[in-house]
Amino acid sequence: MARKSPEVNAGSMADIAFLLLIFFLVTTTIETDSGINRKLPPMEDIIDPPIIKERNIFTVVVNKNNMILVEEKLMDLSDVRKAAVKFLDNGGGLGEEACDYCKGERDRSSSDNPDKAIISLKNDRETDYKVYISVQNELVAAYNELRDREFIDLYPNERMSFVQAYKKYSDPRTSVRVKTALKPKIDVLKKMYPQKLSEAEPNKR
């Protein structure tokens, strides 16, 4: 006579499955994406960019033949810095745009003041990198030359130039006390002769 298999109580298994489902729902942690709680600034009204007078733009172009054109005139690299200094220090503005510390020719056809003066540097894709960097260095040196002059004039007790002061300020070995003393003086010179060197996209041709 064949032995009967014991019957399984399906009702009890359903209860156990239900209890397990409840258990996992309660104990399982579901991760959610989190972000940085940051209040966004309000949208600002779109303001038209200021109109820049042509006399306040000093154009320097390095063409594909590595020739330097300053204000559409051919110029040697050795003369670029001097021409840039002349433009930046011109001080041709009147009234509110006048520059009382500029020592230039005050030519009305050139820049009004250092804050308005912009140097535009442009090159061709075929321009040699070394030539471009050399021109760029001369233009930056023009700003530093003027900053050096005024720094020595304003702060003779420092017994250093602007470039030396900035190098000392940037040195991690310089003490906090010295950096604190130098920072406002450096900021003054940066405001007097702000570096506004615009590097345009190279010509594709």
Residue 162 and residue 148 in contact, taking contact as beta carbons nearer than 8 Å:
yes
In a domain, 46, yes or no: no
- pLDDT of res. 200: 77
Residue 141: predicted pLDDT: 97
Please tell me the predicted confidence (pLDDT) of residue 97.
94
Q: Does residue 49 sit within a domain?
A: no
Residue 161 domain flag: yes
Cα–Cα distances (Å) from 195 to 67, 142, 161, 191, in that order, read: 24, 10, 17, 9
Ranges of the chain whose pLDDT falls below 50: 35-36
Within a domain: residue 98? yes
Enter the pTM of the model. 0.74
23 falls within a domain: no
Give the pLDDT score at 15.
74
In a domain, 44, yes or no: no
Sign of the Cα pseudo-torsion (123, 126, 132, 135, in order)? negative
Helices first, then strands: H and E counts in the chain: 5, 5
| pLDDT for 35 | 46
Residue 3 lies in a domain: no
Lateral strand order in the sheet of 68-70: 73-74, 68-70, 57-62, 118-123, 197-199
pLDDT 10s digits, 82-136? 999 999 999 999 999 999 999 999 999 999 999 999 999 999 999 999 999 999 9
pLDDT of 48: 62
CA separation, residue 124 to residues 62, 120, 121, 151, 154 (Å): 7, 14, 11, 36, 41
Between CA 32 and CA 117 the distance in angstroms is 53
Q: At what angle do helices 162-170 and 129-154 cross, to 10 degrees?
A: 100
**Considering the domain boundaries, does residue 67 fall inside one?**
yes
Structural domains in the chain (count): 1
Torsion of CA 68, 138, 78, 147, to 10 degrees: 140
pLDDT at 29: 66
- Domain range for residue 173? 56-199
Return the ∠ at Cα 142 (arms to 82 and 61), rounded to 5°: 75
